[in-house]
Chains A and B, each alone.
Chain A
Amino acid sequence: MIDTVRTRFYRFLRRILTRPRVDLPLAVALFLLCGAGLVTLYSAGDGNLSLVVGQAARFVFGGALILLMSRVPPSVFRNWTPWLYAGSTVLLVVVAVLGEGRGADRWLNLGIMRFQPSELMKLTMPMMVAWYLHPRQLPPRWKDIAVVGVIIAIPAGLIAKQPDLGTALLVSAAGAFALFLSGMAWWRIGLLLAAAGGMVPIAWHFMHQYQRDRILTMLNPESDPLGNGWHIIQSQIAVGSGGVFGKGFEQGTQSRLDFLPEHTTDFIFAVFSEEFGLIGVCAILMLYAFIIGRCLWIAMEARDTYSRLLAGAIGMSFFVYVFVNGGMVAGLLPVVGVPMPMVSYGGTSAVSLLVGFGVLMSIHANRKVHD
């Protein structure tokens, strides 16, 4: 019995490694992105190798998860989806009750590792929406849209309460993209967006003061140059002083001399922009665009609605990371804790993103057979 289990495990392992079921263009693009991220991290971390090695280890771990996930058929994900969603939501509730963290309660201490249930939700949210819409008649009507709204609102509300506006935004976006891709009528989208616009003053009322400050500071950073405006001003100086060609690798004075806060995590893209200039920015954005495009391509090739919506939502929420972080660094959007995928230092987000790509690989491996 044990022998059989062991033999089957080894056979599975060998298959994963010798015949990886991955989409090569996506894998190569991700590989390049991770490489660029490590190079930038090396410079932003002032040549601190342990930082780079730690991040590389997470990438390797994430890569292994991709290989593992790619072996799991989408139907398995689909069948487990309600339980995964329910589990994640329960964990969010647990965190809300007894979580720990710096200022914001978003961590769950598992003894051996600390982990953010909200990261889990980034994947389970589009899964759940896709799962719900999968059997429905599409395009969805108001009733389905309302149910999806509730599916999104419960975890997003819990996360926003932590408070982690950035992740709440990413989680909601992932669910909303699934809804969008399901073919929700444009006029319904327009109506919802208009309603959301009307909700802004109410949302403002419920925001924390520091969240309001961030938005106000974004609108006029010079009003408080040494306080809330410092991040935005210094980040823009870093980006702007990079120019077209950049200051060169390891030549960014803003980060090296500590003018730029959080220059290995949320603001690492400012370091990248400072050192590699507009050319570097365009190159890496093209890489991101290629990855997103490839995700949507895989989604179009997918065999069923669940896979299509899930793959498409994962790809599109990847864009939200890039847009929110890139916009924040350039002073276009308020400061929210959204990392630049694969470039910002930090474990959970990198691993959860790679797990998402593992799901995509699985969907790709089980794509529609062209007739």
Chain B
Amino acid sequence: MAKLIKRRAFKDTRGEGELFRRRALAGFALILLGLCALVGRYVFLQVLHHDEFALRSINNSVKPRALPPARGLIYDRNGVLLADNVPAFRLEIVPQQVQHMDALLSDLGKVIPLDQDDLDAFRKQLKQARRFDSVPLKMRLTEDDIARFAVNRWRFPGVDVVPYLTRQYPLGPLFAHVIGYVSRIDADDVDRLDPDVYKGTTHIGRIGLERSYEDMLHGKPGYELDEVSADGHIQHVLRTDPPVPGKNLYLSIDARIQKATQDAFEGRPGAAVAIDPRNGQVLAMVSVPTFDPNLFVNGIGLADYASLINSPDKPLLNRALKGTYPPGSTIKPFMGLAGLEYGVRTPQDSVLSTGVFYIPGQARGYRDDQRGGVGTVNLYRAIEDSVNTYFYKLALDLGIDRVSEFMGSYGFGHPSGVDLPGELSGVLPSREWKAKRMKSGAWYPGETVITGIGQGYWEVTAIQLAHALATFAGRGVPYAPRVVMSTADVGASPVPLANPPTGPSLIKNIKDWQAVNDGMQLVIYGTDPFSTGIGMKLGDGFPYRIAGKSGTAERFSRTSDAYNENKNTTYLAARHRAWFEAFTPAEDPRIEVSVVLEAGAWGAKDAGPIARKILDAWLATQGGAVPPDHPLPETGPEPASSAPPSTPEDTPQDDMPASDSSSPEDGTP
């Protein structure tokens, strides 16, 4: 220390002061230079690049959030609510805020039960979602779930309970095959959908009306500009552009008729369609059995789905649109009409029914239903008694080309055009069809013969037959069947959907129409002992005249004599499809029904009463119709003689050129 102090004497204090002054000034100059550099950097950021950073700041803090529109509601024609939106809560996760998703999910599963379906759907959606978008994990939380989650909320950052509107079908199974259902949007949907329209939407119409009217029901999403913090929480709503809710739909179906129709089946598999022939409006459409569409809305459980899929009755199959069956005798009125319209027959032209019909020059016999035949029949009795021989011969006289052309004009062989998705075309037998579909392309006369009675290659859906008969009942004016009658914006009154006829009337001569109509009334009211409707009392107590026709189509070819020996109903029901078609009032039809029973023994006996119950239900909705006094139509001349000698029943059948052995061969009552 002392040494240091000694050296102080040598110091030039004044010079040091001057040196320091210079250094301090130099230092201050350097400091000012440094501060200027700093200011330069701030000018660079705050002036030169201000716009860019201002935009990034806005993008940072302002996030648009899609407001999904409320889906349109669906009502029946009288305003009965069929598809509703009810508030519910779902669990959502923002992936960005989750560090370890697997750990979170397993912890969360201890608080709110998550089944494998939830987790699978979540992981699938997680892959497609952006990191800051919230992904739904579990739909329709129970109050219990919400309460338990609320207590544990702090443990799960990024997980939230979010309110939403879920679809509910108050009448459940009754309209499942018409309305269909909505379900969660999946990976395939994401690729297909317009992201602008479906932003924020979690459900989409999957089948039925929900699907075909998706665009109308969905509405337009709105947007909300939210100021959000870095952890994604909304601080303020800056702007709201409200969504436009989807349109409400009003069905032409009357829920009361629909219910009566469904009940009439008593659970037996089948389908029925009722149409107003004046405008094509569908009044009822059922497919039995049915299912609860509510199960599908928020993801159906594996067990529920397995039981629906594995059920032998196929409840998920919409038989009205996708069940194709041979039409059997139900096409006979159309055949009769074709004969009249082509000028091949007059109503009075008669044919002798002997029990078996032979194509000239061929040994193979084609059976009548009555073993000994029913004698000489004109058009009226041919329809009333469903006489095969009359139509065998008529088909042969018309030729397959005219038969196909005429049947095609009534809509057979192609979709009816109903406003529901998934409709099948069925099969209208024709040369072209066979040439395209069969290896042995040539058409044989025997095929024409059985085509005349609705057997052979024929495949028809309930909606096709309903559409064809509705076209006939409406004096030939074709309308595409429509399930939706009108639409309404929220708060506005319903506006009918236009459904103009798809073409001019198909009837050339109204007398032809009247003759076939009269023949069909005889099916209900005829007194002939061979009348198909005899004893069925299908018209009893009904104030309007009913015109109808039954059909019993065989499901298998007869390979043994068992058919002739087993006449018990159970055996026949296992082999037959039972059809019934009807319209009323006969002189000015306002409703047409067609019914198919998948396992019915006889059309008139099994399907007929169902048709009648539908008509009764319709009548009830018409508010006490006054029974008008309608005279019985003229009947054709009674057959002169009774059954001719019967022909051998064991006529060999293998000469028929049918390549498909499982297709029905012949014989319909």
Residues in A lying within 8 Å of B, measured CB to CB: 135-139, 177, 180-183, 234, 236-244, 253-254, 256-259, 273, 277-278, 281-282, 285, 288-289, 292-293, 296, 299-300, 304-305, 308-309, 312, 316, 319, 322-323, 326-327, 330-332
Given B20, B28, B46, which contacts A242 in the complex, CB threshold below 8 Å? B46
The reply on B436 being an interface residue by CB < 8 A is no
Give the distance to chain B from A178, nearest Cβ to Cβ, in Å: 11
Query: In the docked arrangement, what's the CA distance between A308 and B60, Å?
Result: 50
Give the distance to chain A from B174, nearest Cβ to Cβ, in Å: 51
Residues in A neighbouring B501, C-beta threshold 8 A: none
Assuming A236-B45, A239-B53, A323-B38, is B23 touching A181 (CB within 8 A)?
yes
* Among A139, A183, A244, A257: residue with most chain B CB under 10 A: A257
Residues in B neighbouring A238, C-beta threshold 8 A: 57
Q: Is the CB of A258 within 8 A of B27?
A: no
Assuming A135-B8, A244-B46, A257-B229, is B31 touching A289 (CB within 8 A)?
yes
Query: In the docked arrangement, what's the CA distance between A292 and B12, Å?
Result: 27
Assuming A183-B16, A285-B39, A308-B17, is B57 touching A237 (CB within 8 A)?
yes
Residues in A neighbouring B60, C-beta threshold 8 A: 234, 237, 253-254, 257, 259
Given B28, B227, B231, which contacts A296 in the complex, CB threshold below 8 Å? B28
- For the complex of A and B, the 6 pairs showing the least CB-CB separation, nearest first, are A240-B53, A241-B57, A183-B19, A257-B229, A240-B45, A258-B230
Residues in A neighbouring B53, C-beta threshold 8 A: 236-237, 239-241
Q: Is the CB of A273 within 8 A of B27?
A: no
* Among B28, B43, B54: residue with most chain A CB under 10 A: B28
The reply on B5 being an interface residue by CB < 8 A is yes
**Chain B contacts with A in 212-232, Cβ cutoff 8 A:** 227-231
Could you list some 22 contacts between A and B, CB below 8 A?
A137-B12, A183-B20, A234-B60, A236-B45, A239-B45, A240-B57, A241-B56, A241-B58, A243-B50, A243-B54, A258-B231, A259-B61, A281-B42, A288-B35, A312-B20, A319-B35, A323-B38, A326-B38, A327-B38, A331-B41, A331-B45, A332-B41
**Chain B contacts with A in 19-55, Cβ cutoff 8 A:** 19-25, 27-28, 31-32, 34-35, 37-39, 41-43, 45-47, 49-50, 52-54
Give the distance to chain A from B122, nearest Cβ to Cβ, in Å: 23
Residues in B neighbouring A319, C-beta threshold 8 A: 31, 34-35
The reply on B103 being an interface residue by CB < 8 A is no
- Least CB separation from A326: chain B residue: B38
- Least CB separation from A305: chain B residue: B16
Residues in A neighbouring B27, C-beta threshold 8 A: 177, 180-181, 296, 312, 316
The reply on B154 being an interface residue by CB < 8 A is no
Residues in B lying within 8 Å of A, measured CB to CB: 4-5, 7-8, 10-13, 16-17, 19-25, 27-28, 31-32, 34-35, 37-39, 41-43, 45-47, 49-50, 52-54, 56-58, 60-61, 227-231, 235
Q: Is the CB of A181 within 8 A of B24?
A: yes
Q: Is the CB of B46 within 8 A of A181?
A: no
Given B5, B47, B56, B61, which contacts A135 in the complex, CB threshold below 8 Å? B5
Assuming A241-B57, A278-B47, is B38 touching A332 (CB within 8 A)?
yes
Query: In the docked arrangement, what's the CA distance between A181 and B17, Å?
Result: 10
Q: Is the CB of B35 within 8 A of A308?
A: no
Q: Is the CB of B11 within 8 A of A278?
A: no
Residues in A neighbouring B13, C-beta threshold 8 A: 304-305
Q: Is the CB of B49 within 8 A of A299?
A: no
Give the distance to chain B from A230, nearest Cβ to Cβ, in Å: 9
Q: Is the CB of B20 within 8 A of A308?
A: yes
Residues in A neighbouring B22, C-beta threshold 8 A: 183
Query: In the docked arrangement, what's the CA distance between A277 and B228, Å?
Result: 23
Given A137, A256, A278, A322, which contacts B7 in the complex, CB threshold below 8 Å? A137
Q: Is the CB of A137 within 8 A of B41?
A: no
Query: In the docked arrangement, what's the CA distance between A277 and B397, Å?
Result: 98
Query: In the docked arrangement, what's the CA distance between A242 and B54, Å?
Result: 7
